[in-house]
Structure formats: structure tokens, C-alpha cells
Structure 1
Amino acid sequence: MKLLARLALLAGLLLAGGVGVHGRGPLESSLHEAGGNRADLLYVVLFSLPDCPYCVAVRDAYLPALIDDPRFRGRVRIREVSISSPRLLTDFNGDRIPHTDLARRYKVKFAPTVLFLDAHGQPRADALLGGDSVGLYGGYLENRVMQGLAR
């Protein structure tokens, strides 16, 4: 029954065209914290493509759970990078670079890919590649976040 509920949610999100995390619009792409990056933060970075239904599902159905989880509140920053966009973002060093350059830096070749990075851009957990097809993605995502925060 859980699988049917998740599929219904995903279908609704896809029909709605994707509204961002909790209707908040596109995820922020800056990786640099004002006042310096805190060592205790974990950056959960979604690398996405336009018109990618799996990316929409990750962005709208799974990442909001991290924001709402009291175990992660204040410790996790969620960002989105479009692997095909020439738009600029602020990287961990405070430099303005195209989204495509950041994807190349981390060798991201397809979407969705979720990286778990520290405040200096170093990996703290294994990347999560691909989307959800059997309803297990939320568990995989939570495990990676827990792994990243434990390091």
C-alpha cells in the first residue's frame, strides 16, 4: 500500500510540473554560507536536469523530509545544481562558477545524482545515483545523511 501511495504522490507532482520543496520554488544553489561555512554542516546537493521526472521526485517528494526531520534541522543544507545550466552559482570557496563546471568537478554525468558534502566540498558519504522505482529511495537518502553527519 505504501508503494501505491508514493506512486500517487509522484504522479501528482509530475502533473503539477514540480513546485520545489514544499512549494518554496527552486532550491538554492549557493554552496557558500554567509559568515563562513560551519564544519558541522552537511550539504545534500541534488544534481538535476530539466524535465527529469526522477529529479522532480527527489526534489519534491524526498528532500522535504530532510528539512522537516528534527534530527537534521540546522545541520543539513539542501542545494540543487543543474548539470546542463550555464547559470552561475557560488561554490564552497565563494567563487562564482557555472553549474556545469561544478558538475564536471564532481564528475556527475547523469541525473539525478545526490552528493553529501562537508562545508569545504569534500564527500562525507557515498553518492546516491538515479531515482526511485521501488519506493526505497527515502531510506537510502536518510542512511546517506546519517553517514555524512557521523563523519
Structure 2
Amino acid sequence: MKYLMIFLGLLIGFPLALATENETDHEKLISVVEASNLYADGQSARIEGKAILLLISQEHCSFCVQIKQEVIGPMIRSGAYNKRLIIRELLLDTGSDVIDFKGVRRGNHDFSYDYKVTLTPTLLFLDAAGNELAAKMVGIQTPDMFYYYVDQSIQEALGSLDRQAKR
């Protein structure tokens, strides 16, 4: 009976241990707020003087996961970009809709075509109206330097935003 209880404990506990391990790995992946209403995000960006970083990704894209783990996650955790940047993610493989910058509900794929996005991950650097402030980044070039390049694009976008505000 004692061995049966141990066996049952292992049988039940092992899957729970695996689930806990997987949850721990998943927790390392910072959740990026899904883009659902870019019109509202645009209004917030306009009022707060922020740019919008839009990650266009897919759930089963290993490079998208890598960007979230190695670039977007650390950016969010650091808090260094909170005052000037709204970060959103648009998933192409969920069949979801998004309210675009004009307030129109559209499919995520349809929306992404406006920006000529055909590969994931793609990073867009946008103003409150959805205009590109810096060149989009497609894929991950030079992984060791990618965070630096993203930060440079963010700084370029913020500079463009500041020049717009002065007009």
C-alpha cells in the first residue's frame, strides 16, 4: 500500500512538475499587450506625446518569441521606454481583428498589408495616426546587436515625433 501511494504521488506529481516547469519558461516571456484598438492607442499616443512600437508576429514563430524574450521583454521590464513609447503586438495567426488608426475594424492580415508586412517578426515605429516614423525592421538581423538596432530605430522615431510636434 505504501508503494502504491508513492507511485500514485509520482504519477500525479510528475505532470504537475512539468506544468510548473513550462509555466516558469512561459513566465520568462513577457506578455506584450495585444493590439486590439489602435485608434485608442493613437489617441493616447497623441495626448501623451508617445510613439507606438508595433510588433507584428505569429504565435508559432521562433524569431517572434526570440524578439519578445531578448528585446521587447527587457524593454518592458526596464521601464526606460514607458514615458515615450506604447508597445503593442499584432498576431497574424489568430484570426483576430483590430480597430485601425481611423477607427475601422479590420482583420489583422488586412491591416498588416497596409504596411507591406509579409514576414514576421516585423517591428513598426508609428506616430499617433499610424504613419511610420522610422523604417520598419523585418526579421532579426545580427542577433547580438539587434537590441541596439531596435533602440536606434526607437530614437529615430522619437526624434521624428519631436520634429512633428514642433511644426
Q: Which has the higher helix share?
A: 2
> Aligned match of 2:111 in 84, 102, 107?
102
Q: What stretches of structure 2 of length at least 5 have no aligned partner?
A: 1-21, 161-167
Residue in 1 that maps onto 2:54: 45
Residue in 1 that maps onto 2:15: none
RMSD: 2.7
> Aligned match of 2:124 in 82, 106, 115?
115
Asked if 1:28 corresponds to 2:37, the answer is no
Residue pair 1:116, 1:124 contacting (<8 A) in 2 also:
yes
Residue pair 1:37, 1:120 contacting (<8 A) in 2 also:
no
- Any idea what the Cα deviations from partners look like across 1:73-103, whole Å, max 9, x if unmatched? 2210111112344211121122211111111
Residue pair 1:19, 1:26 contacting (<8 A) in 2 also:
no
Give the C-alpha shift of residue 133 in structure 1: 4.9
Give the C-alpha shift of residue 124 in structure 1: 0.2
- Any idea what the Cα deviations from partners look like across 1:109-149, whole Å, max 9, x if unmatched? 00111010000000000111112553111001000000000
What is the identity percentage for the equivalent residue pairs of Structure 1 and Structure 2? 24
Residue in 2 that maps onto 1:55: 64
Q: Give the AA of the match of 2:33.
A: L
Residue pair 2:52, 2:86 contacting (<8 A) in 1 also:
yes
Residue in 1 that maps onto 2:85: 76
The structure whose Rg is larger is: 2
Residue pair 1:49, 1:82 contacting (<8 A) in 2 also:
yes
Give the C-alpha shift of residue 50 in structure 1: 2.5
**Aligned equivalents of 1:71 and 1:17: distance in 2?**
23
**Aligned equivalents of 2:42 and 2:62: distance in 1?**
36
Residue pair 1:125, 1:144 contacting (<8 A) in 2 also:
yes
Residue pair 1:91, 1:97 contacting (<8 A) in 2 also:
yes
Asked if 1:16 corresponds to 2:25, the answer is yes
